[in-house]
Amino acid sequence: MKKLTYVKITIDILMAVTLVLLYNKRVLGGLAFHEIAGLCIGGVFLVHILLNGRWVATVTRKLFDRKLPGRTRFGYLLNLLLLACMSFIIVSGILISEVVFRDLHMGNVGWFKGTHIAVSFLTLIIVGVHVGLHWKWLMNVGRKLFRLEKGRRTAGLLVQAAALLVFLYGGWQIYSTGFLNRVEGVTQLFSSGQGMPGEGRGRPEGMPEGMRREGMPPEGAANGSGAGTAPSQAAASSEAGVAGKDGGTGGGTGAAGFEGRPARRGGEESPFREGGKGGFPGASPWNVLLTYLGILGVFVILTYYAEKLLNRRKPASSAAEV
């Protein structure tokens, strides 16, 4: 196997692990890690594109050629969408940064925070579809790397059982985190445009239900900070939970962060998820990895088997035409 293939696989694994860790801005040192890792993953993403530059150049030249397979054209357009989303996440993250670029707040910071979160969730779906399209190649690389024989029925059954478990676990995490509601926030936020107010209490007009602006005090408390400033302890404790009950804000250059730490009386933060049962204290990197890799796995599996089903139907339809 070529050394370049090893490099590609290593980069892909590092990108996947780093990406999912960015979905909680309190892991591994908090916002400092969130913002710096977000910038780094942007650079690594560009390296990933350059390593596949020959494919990009070839498909770009033949994009409107009728002989180009539909799968290749779809993958190319999906990559363009992924590039656009990653670029938006990085730019919006810089504009709402509270550590690395803390003095660079520009425009409607509240709007950028909301879209930063929503687009981050959409990006996770796109990455899942992207990986699903290349899953067969990844499996072949894995077989060569670990010198596994192809065609063993027992191994195939184990892989299918593992895929089912990942799908069920990821599906539960999608439900428990309110993942789809947050993705839906993309349309609501962009339809509201820049008209999202930067001041005031309650949920801003145009912001999806369950999503609160960072720095907003709870009802009945004095409004001590405007958009773009660090929230007070009471305001911070009202931010989003992983359970999807309250929406959160993810200031920083990476993907959106979710704390899952509802407020106690008096503004004191609870160390558990909403409901107090089954939660974990603080932000465990392992829990974040399991949660969002599980969600990512759902879209990988759906894409892989959807493509497999389409490939099975093509020969059947061709035979029917003959």
Q: 198 versus 75: which is more confidently predicted?
A: 75
Q: Tell me the C-alpha to C-alpha distance, in Å, between residue 217 and each of 16, 84, 301.
A: 35, 33, 41
pLDDT category at 75 given cuts 50, 70, 90 is confident
User: How does pLDDT run across 143-193, given as a tens digit for each residue?
Assistant: 776 666 666 677 678 888 888 999 999 999 999 988 888 888 777 666 655
Query: What is the model's pTM?
Result: 0.68
Does residue 201 have a pLDDT over 80? no
Q: Tokens 């191994």 — which residue? A: 155
Closest CA to 124 of 67, 179, 66: 179
Residue with tokens 């539909």: 70
* CB contact at 8 A, 96 and 252: yes
Q: Which residues in 199-209 are b (16+ Cβ under 10 Å) and which e?
A: eeeeebebbbe
| Chain segment 210-229, per-residue pLDDT in tens | 444 444 444 444 444 444 43
The confidence score (pLDDT) of residue 315 equals 58
pLDDT at 206: 42
Average pLDDT, the chain: 71
Token representation of residue 219: 């009802």
Query: Residue 248 above 70 pLDDT?
Result: no
pLDDT of residue 150: 65
Confidence at residue 190, expressed as pLDDT on a 0 to 100 scale: 62
User: What is the rounded CA–CA span in Å between residue 84 and residue 18?
Assistant: 19
**Helix, strand, or coil here: 263?**
strand
Determine the structural domain holding residue 251 and report its residue range: 1-322
- The better pLDDT of the pair 115, 264 is held by 115
8-29 burial code (b ≥16 CB/10 A, e <16)? beeebeebbebbbbbbbbbbee
pLDDT per residue as tens digits for the range 28-51: 878 888 888 888 888 888 888 888
pLDDT value for 164: 92
User: What is the model's pLDDT at position 215?
Assistant: 45
What is residue 181's three-state secondary structure?
Answer: helix
Distance CA 260, CA 283 (A): 9
Tell me what the mean pLDDT of segment 191-210 comes to. 45
pLDDT for residue 203 is more than 60: no
Q: At residue 321, does pLDDT exceed 60? A: no
Helices (H), ranges, the chain = 3-21, 31-51, 53-61, 70-95, 109-133, 135-146, 153-176, 179-192, 233-236, 285-321
What per-residue confidence (pLDDT) applies to 298? 93
Q: What is the pLDDT of residue 114?
A: 84
**Which of the residue ranges 112-116, 185-189, 246-250 would you say has the lowest mean pLDDT?**
246-250
Question: What is the structure's pLDDT at 247?
Answer: 38
Q: What's the number of domains the chain is made of?
A: 1
Percentage, residues of the chain above pLDDT 90: 14
Taking alpha carbons only, the member of 121, 149, 160 closest to residue 308 is 160
Over residues 61-89, the mean pLDDT reads: 88
Listed range (118-127, 187-196, 230-239) with the worst mean pLDDT: 230-239
Assign 291 to helix, strand or coil. Answer: helix
